[in-house]
Amino acid sequence: MTIALLRLETVEDFRLRAEATLPAPVRDFVAGGSEAETTLAANRAALDRVTIVPRVLTGGSGPDPSATLAGTRSSLPLAVAPMAYQRLLHPEGELAMARAAAAAGVPFVISTLSSVTLDDLSTAGGEQWFQLYWLNDDQGTVELVRRAEDAGCRVLMVTVDVPIMGRRLRDIRNEFTLPSEVRAANVQSGARSSAHARSDGGSALIAHTNAEFHPALTWAHLEMLRSRTSLPIVVKGILDPADARRAAEIGAAGVVISNHGGRQLDGAPASVTMLPAAVDAVPGTCQVLVDSGIRSGTDILRALALGAEGVLIGRPMLWGLAAGGQAGAAGVLSVLDAELRAAMRLSGCTDVATARGLTATMGC
């Protein structure tokens, strides 16, 4: 880690460092949620209400926080969440992020809207997964999945909570537009040009997403995908336990209980509040991950104690990237690692399995 990053002890430190340097529209694009940002705030409030009951006299060395996520070994029970257009935050964008994830031994999820090509990312090494936004063109979508497979991606994460993009008022007010040098590097030009065109009184990204993504996905699309790829499928963006069960029934290796970091339906519940019911709803063949609002190792332990097998880390990784490129992203992962190990020791856990056996309560 560089000297400039030595004093960054928490994710909040990284956020402050990042936000001091980012242009306001980019800062808002990362931090913002949809509409009144009620769900964005609810994610944090709900996590703060989760208490963990520590166990004592467990002896215990370690702890060992490693996990297997969708068949992939990870040094921590987390993966870097798929996030679009990371070259907005640092010139190396996803490449720096992928290298940081590889060095830390955690999976990196490549967004459909990655601003670095799949081929370039494959040079970073480590475990890479691909996140799919189903495009309006079914043929192009299947072709994109094949390219991700060829590039070495080991898991396909299908995001299902974006029939349209949520009304992100900060982006609308900023008339947010991508700079010309930041593009969706892995999709055809027709599917990305509108993200660069200023849309009067609106966000170019909302216009672009609403024009280019499939607006009416059904379970049949997932079943079709199941027959077209041998990769494990993880379905991201589920909140209702019945949907989690349905995903498991069609063979999903995992689900991510997620409200997209409060960026889609405002008024949706905090992800973590839906976690225990989802865990109860699915068979052991389907892993339950969670994201939205995770900001510390203690939050990761909270999620594990509520039954998750792992979490996705979203905005904190972008703040790390903005604060210091690869070293900044690595810095965030190392903070989370240190915090999680401390929380596991303090609660008497030796590994992820014992962490999942802790008693957690959701206070009011």
Ligand X SMILES: Cc1cc2nc3c(=O)[nH]c(=O)nc-3n(C[C@H](O)[C@H](O)[C@H](O)COP(=O)(O)O)c2cc1C
Rounded to whole angstroms, the Cα distance separating 20 from 26 reads: 12
**Residues from 181 through 220 that contact ligand X (CB under 6 A):** none
Rounded to whole angstroms, the Cα distance separating 142 from 155 reads: 15
Q: Where are the alpha helices (DSSP H) in 188-281?
A: 204-212, 219-228, 241-249, 271-281
Nearest to ligand X by Cβ — which residue?
A: 314
Size of the site for ligand X (CB under 6 A): 23
Q: Which of 96, 97, 91 is nearest to 179 (CA)?
A: 91
Rounded to whole angstroms, the Cα distance separating 61 from 278 reads: 32
The interface region with ligand X, picked from 13-21, 57-65, 181-189, 307-315 by CB under 6 A, is 307-315
Site string for ligand X, 284-303 (x = CB under 6 A): -------xxxx---------
Beta strands 128-132 and 72-74, pairing class: unpaired
- Among 81, 118, 255, 289, contact with ligand X (rule: CB under 6 A): 81
Assess 166 for contact with ligand X (CB under 6 A).
no
Assess 52 for contact with ligand X (CB under 6 A).
no
Rounded to whole angstroms, the Cα distance separating 285 from 233 reads: 12
Nearer to ligand X by Cβ, of 296 and 326: the residue is: 296
Q: 117: which DSSP letter?
A: -
- Among 39, 74, 128, 131, contact with ligand X (rule: CB under 6 A): 131
Which residue in this structure is represented by tokens 């206070």?
A: 363
- Among 82, 126, 232, 328, contact with ligand X (rule: CB under 6 A): 82
Assess 177 for contact with ligand X (CB under 6 A).
no
Residue 278: how many CB atoms within 10 A of its CB?
29
Assess 84 for contact with ligand X (CB under 6 A).
yes
Q: Is 260 a catalytic residue?
A: yes
Which residue in this structure is represented by tokens 């509040």?
A: 273
Residues annotated as catalytic (active site), given as ranges: 260
Name the residues that contact ligand X, by CB under 6 A: 29-30, 43, 81-84, 111, 113, 131, 159, 236, 258, 260-261, 291-294, 312, 314-315, 318
